[in-house]
Structure 1
């Protein structure tokens, strides 16, 4: 139906986004255009995404190459909130790599002169600052698996892993008092009370009244729920641990360290 025919050639899902390769054909002229669609899948309906997740998506989009010189098309449902946040990220990241300063307020105001309410909420505006901070201060790079050994050797010679780890320690996210109080609950089910699980990543155990188990989701490369990380079960949490395996349908458990002492258990 209609003038154009759209054919999906390929679709690859990753932890935070999906990439689709499309072919659009004009039925009258038989001309075709190949299009790549980058679809960010981790933006919640009522909230904002993790800065790291949006930044990884931005870098993937920015690494794409095309022979066409036209402008980037960005859209969401209404075309103002999420769209404005992404456009602000793209423009200000590019400005920040060539200038000593950026002005988020000024650029937001400029966008709103062309389209009302670009960056729709205060949370989106605040989130943009955090993504830019991480993007302009934490330098990351990607490599193919064939280049990994060579690149790793060069990194070790320059002590880059130690430098990157120091940057990560300085870029820790900040949590509210409420989040700390929640993380400190159920003390009798924690082996080490200095190791806390963030509430929004916790897994709810359906077989208990409290729903609590000291376990969180960790994303994989292709899925946002690639791993579950937890402590070695205590005497009073062994049943919970087995219930979690059954609930999440995990078929592999990786135990690390001396089980008598107890460290981490990772399973999928």
Structure 2
């Protein structure tokens, strides 16, 4: 069995971290991010791994060991989800899943490992018994050629998992996540009406590290909140082990609620608290710092999504907004965009002297993480570079290539790009000459 790599903690004693008022958040993050995130690492390493008195008796029972995806990621006895016992099947009340509190709501979430083939029936039994209406999935089925989670739903039609029948109602694929709607019926409780269960599957978490930007995660989180019915059971959140990405998601959700209620942020205290409900929640310092980045993004820009029905009203209030009104005018909205930090440290390739000559406007350089890479010409350095970036569409990753108008000495690279990336459409939004330039 694989084990999850757990980071060693610093030997120094526990240090106290205090809540941060939201207006100081940007400055605090700037300080913690200095020296490649040295202070973030220190803060993360000061967390205790989990509940000192926590026992794992049920998880360690011989008949339950096979049900655990990783032998070192187990639920505590005091906070584990208990299934109804199946007659004649010892320990059939066990699943590797734990109740986790939200900001103020007790047992708002269930943090679970990604189902294994042997535990799929238990997983659906849990969904039914807990009356959960939302499943949040934060891993892909395979990453780096390793199985991270067994596919626990049918692609189409209907499938029966133990005593629970699951049929696919709908599937919507968007750029960062996929929404699947299932009709779920218990064959055991035949008299009970079928239920709608929605799975929101975040597909943009990279195999290594964390997403480059928290924007996709924040939109995803909003969708989860919107789709969860008021009287439903706990939201089931899982990745592979059910601690790293799962913990990250739960913490962002809780601290956003805290920001609204108290105008402050206390990530350290909340992570410490939920580690008493499931060990190792939030696994790496990168995930820990990503939580802060997401909170800052939310604080600076808020929720900018509009319902189509309110678009006209938004435009009118934006145009008519007097400076003293709370409503932000379009100019204010645009001004916020100009504050988005340009990350010069992530433009190393474009800033090489040989590549600077290929820039039409010296300030507009592609980021390394999404630049278009050409095939390298044999024996010629830097020939894999063009000033062009992949841009996501609404439903599809890298749907567009945004590029500068070719220069005389980059025309050949431009056509190489069109050929190598199989582009069938070029949209040109300038004249060859404008204002005699």
TM-score calculated relative to the size of structure 2: 0.56
SS where residue 204 of structure 2 aligns? Answer: coil
2:296 aligned with 1:117: no
Partner of 2:229: 66
In 2 relative to 1, CA 84–175 (structure 1 residues): closer, same or farther, beyond 3 Å? farther
Gaps of 5+ in 2: 1-159, 322-327
Report deviation, 1:28.
3.0
In 2 relative to 1, CA 100–150 (structure 1 residues): closer, same or farther, beyond 3 Å? closer
Q: Which protein, 1 or 2, shows the higher relative CO under an 8 Å CA cutoff with sep ≥ 6? A: 2
Partner of 1:138: 301
In 2 relative to 1, CA 71–106 (structure 1 residues): closer, same or farther, beyond 3 Å? same
Structure 1 range deviating more: 90-99 or 238-247: 238-247
The Cα offsets for residues 34-83 of structure 1, whole Å up to 9 and x where unpaired, read as: 10111111101111012111111112212224253312111100101100
SS where residue 184 of structure 1 aligns? Answer: coil
The Cα offsets for residues 145-191 of structure 1, whole Å up to 9 and x where unpaired, read as: 35433432222222622111222222325443xx3432312123221
Partner of 1:48: 210
For residues 428 and 199 of structure 2, the distance between their equivalents in structure 1, rounded to whole angstroms, comes to: 40
Equivalent of residue 193 in structure 1, options 356, 362, 386: 362
Q: Does the 8 Å CA contact 1:7/1:23 hold for their aligned counterparts?
A: yes
Equivalent residue runs for 1:1-268 within 5 Å: 1=160, 2-30=162-190, 31=192, 32-49=194-211, 50-158=213-321, 160-172=329-341, 174-176=343-345, 179-185=346-352, 186-206=355-375, 208=377, 210-260=383-433
For residues 388 and 239 of structure 2, the distance between their equivalents in structure 1, rounded to whole angstroms, comes to: 33
Higher-helix-fraction structure: 1
Q: Does the 8 Å CA contact 2:350/2:387 hold for their aligned counterparts?
A: no
TM-score calculated relative to the size of structure 1: 0.89
SS where residue 183 of structure 1 aligns? Answer: coil
Structure 1 range deviating more: 122-131 or 66-75: 66-75
Report deviation, 1:25.
1.6
For residues 344 and 282 of structure 2, the distance between their equivalents in structure 1, rounded to whole angstroms, comes to: 24
Structure 1 range deviating more: 209-218 or 16-25: 209-218
Partner of 2:94: none
For residues 111 and 61 of structure 1, the distance between their equivalents in structure 2, rounded to whole angstroms, comes to: 20
Q: Which has the larger radius of gyration?
A: 2
Q: Does the 8 Å CA contact 1:217/1:229 hold for their aligned counterparts?
A: yes
For residues 342 and 180 of structure 2, the distance between their equivalents in structure 1, rounded to whole angstroms, comes to: 32
Q: Does the 8 Å CA contact 1:184/1:193 hold for their aligned counterparts?
A: no
The Cα offsets for residues 102-160 of structure 1, whole Å up to 9 and x where unpaired, read as: 21111111111221111100111001101001112212332343543343222222262
For residues 51 and 4 of structure 1, the distance between their equivalents in structure 2, rounded to whole angstroms, comes to: 36
Q: Does the 8 Å CA contact 1:97/1:136 hold for their aligned counterparts?
A: no
Aligned length in residues: 260
The Cα offsets for residues 9-45 of structure 1, whole Å up to 9 and x where unpaired, read as: 1110111111110111212333422101111111011
In 2 relative to 1, CA 124–175 (structure 1 residues): closer, same or farther, beyond 3 Å? farther
Report deviation, 1:227.
1.4
Q: Does the 8 Å CA contact 2:348/2:368 hold for their aligned counterparts?
A: no
